[in-house]
Chain A
Amino acid sequence: MSGDPTRSDVSQLVVPVTEDDHRQGPDDAAVTLVEYGDYQCSHCGQASPLIKDVQEQFGDDLRFVFRNFPLTSIHKYAQHAAEAAEAAGAQGEEEFWSMHDLLYENQDALDDESLITYAEQLGLDPERFRSDFASHAFEDRIHEQFVGGARSGVNGTPTFYINGERYDGSWSPSPLSTAIQRVLSSSR
């Protein structure tokens, strides 16, 4: 299109990855893939196993980070699901990722009762989970991630960033892994 001098460059991740993030893979990996996701979003659910394929393919060259972007006005269970994952994360990183996977495997049952059942299933400290979940202990953290995502140009879920640059291509495995490979090659 002509006459569009104001179009901005590719959106950039404005909130750097820190120790506060849920991360898989080495912190010194050449490539960091950040996902902003919503546990009730079916596209995120479809992307979840594909991310695992990409992680397997790139091994220690790839670090994966998950941040919350619950679209609460269209997904009524997304906020509490995110809070449940964070409440699990308060009990350990492994617990976070187990809950993360379980939520994506059970997107048709994300009501509060189911979320509590998942916590039990994962062997979490039930008292602590219930207390964190009931008091919305991680509401602020999730909101901060949401706003940080919006400021980074998240425009739907899932939105991915490869080494800080928004990835606007298809998130099917081959284009995503091609894009990661390109960044990996240029980093060497």
Chain B
Amino acid sequence: MSTGHYAISAGEIHREPLSAGTRAPEFTLPTTPDQTVSLSDFHGQPVVLAFYPADWSPTCGGQLSLYNQLLPEFQAHGAQLLGVSVDGVWCHRAFEEDRNIHFPLLADFEPKGAIAKAYGVYRDAVGTSERALFVIDAGGIIQWSYVSPIGINPGADGILRELEALSTTVDMEESR
């Protein structure tokens, strides 16, 4: 298990959402009271990073429930889904149990919103992240990012389209 619980390598703050072609900032965040998850744990496979404002807000519940039900589709592309909000691990645990969530929810809790800031999706005025999606390829490069209007569930069409495109690219490279 990693000891650097709250470390982010770059420690940079971006004001605009990181866009396609940018290297995804590394992070290590707690996902349960005694476990952490790092982006680099998933090197070699695509990662879907879903920032959302808060565990219990109605739209988030719908969005995360939808993604939960689509896990087999994400897995079919070899992708790992990670949810990120500024809520703490105990809040995440209660929310996961209540909604039967089967993918890791990461606590961007201390220093608050550091990862959201590194990805350029922190909202200073309200102290939460944007509702933002990043699809990161197997080599750690952001291939797609999207910021949804805060009250609107962005659905999964953009994620699935991007994962399909990544799978196609890999197939083409392998067949060469």
A residues within 8 Å of B by Cβ?
A: 1-8, 11, 14, 71-74, 146-147, 150-156, 168
Contacts and interface: CB of A to CB of B under 8 A. Distances in A.
A98 B161 CA distance: 36
B62 A155 contact: yes
Given A3-B120, A4-B147, A11-B155, 9 more contacts: A4-B17, A6-B147, A8-B158, A73-B68, A74-B99, A150-B66, A150-B157, A150-B160, A152-B157
B19 A153 contact: no
B15 A150 contact: no
Contacts of A156: 62, 66, 153
Interface of B: 15-17, 19-20, 61-63, 65-66, 68-70, 73, 99-100, 120, 144-149, 152-158, 160-161
Nearest to B98: A74
Contact of A71 (B66, B144, B147): B66
A8 B158 CA distance: 8
A150 B68 CA distance: 12
B99 A150 contact: no
A8 B120 CA distance: 18
B20 A155 contact: no
B8 to A, nearest CB: 21
A33 B141 CA distance: 39
18 contacts: A1-B147, A3-B15, A5-B19, A6-B20, A14-B157, A72-B69, A73-B65, A73-B68, A73-B99, A74-B61, A74-B65, A147-B73, A151-B160, A152-B157, A153-B155, A153-B156, A155-B62, A155-B154
Contacts of B160: 150-151
Contacts of A7: 146-148
Contacts of B146: 6-8
Q: Is the interface of B mostly helix, strand, loop or mixed?
A: mixed
A155 B66 contact: yes
- 5 smallest CB-CB distances across A and B, nearest first, come from A155-B155, A3-B16, A153-B157, A155-B153, A153-B155
A6 B19 contact: yes
Nearest to A74: B65
A1 B157 CA distance: 21
A73 B19 contact: no
Nearest to A70: B69
A3 B155 contact: no
Nearest to A71: B65
Point out which of A1, A6, A71, A146 has the most chain B C-beta atoms below 10 A from its C-beta.
A6
Given A3-B17, A74-B99, A151 B69 contact: no
A11 B157 contact: yes
Contacts of B99: 73-74
A48 to B, nearest CB: 20
A87 B160 CA distance: 30
Contacts of A6: 17, 19-20, 144-147
Nearest to B101: A73
B33 to A, nearest CB: 24
Contacts of A147: 70, 73
A53 B160 CA distance: 35
Contacts of A5: 19
